[in-house]
Structure 1
Amino acid sequence: MQADRQAGFTLVELLVSIAILAVLMSTLISAFLFNAGLNTKSEMRSAAVRVAVNIVENYRNDNTYDSLPLNGATQTSNVTESGRTFRVVTTFCPPDMPSEMVCSSSARFIRVEVYNGTTEIYQTDSYFTQLVKPNS
């Protein structure tokens, strides 16, 4: 008499397949976590860019350049965008601005730096000029 063999997997085959599955899952999970971190950084940078653009546009729309500070004066504020609070440092006519850019009553060089904690996320420089009508 021959013993009937039951169809199925042995314990060793199951353990090997579980080990392979664990390696594949750990690879997928680490890739997912990496992409989630990348998305968070990208969202933070996008929010920082929006903050800087809004500040620069507010100065541009104000159109009173002669009332803005000169010679490296800074203003610091906290701005919330997309649920994140950023520290914004605005510098007027910084000492390291290009030499061809001159600050005057009708022109200002403005640097806006956006920080998350102590890390600078974004920086932009802008040169505002105002057309002056000649005296007739």
Structure 2
Amino acid sequence: MKSSALGSILLGSVDPVRLHAWYLAALAPEHFGDGFIDFGGVRVLFENRTDVAPATAEPGRVIFNFHVADARAAAAHLDGLGATWLVEVERRDAGLFGTLVDPDGNYIQIIELSEEYLAAAGR
């Protein structure tokens, strides 16, 4: 079997319009007006669902990791939007990491990988 590629993610919400607007404001992704937001080749669609609660029950089950060039600048931008931080940006072995909560209670991380980590990983 050929390898598959992750092309899109559907994120169900009772208020997909709010969630869509938040991700646009928070992370400035590409948006083409078709409902999907493109995060570097992985497209996310926010869909109205009646089979989900207003807030996720297990927010740590799936965490979106957003790689950024400047984690502290991204955090300052998110602070300006009133972000709720689970873990503020901190240095770890691989670089800078911060975990915050989106309006539906999902966890997302902003990650700035260090030059040392990237070099060791061959990137």
Q: TM-score band (shorter)?
A: 0.3 to 0.5
Query: Which structure has the larger Rg?
Result: 1
TM-score by length of 1: 0.31
Q: TM-score, normalised by structure 2?
A: 0.34
- Higher relative contact order structure (alpha carbons within 8 Å, sequence separation ≥ 6): 2
Structure 1 or 2: larger strand share? 2
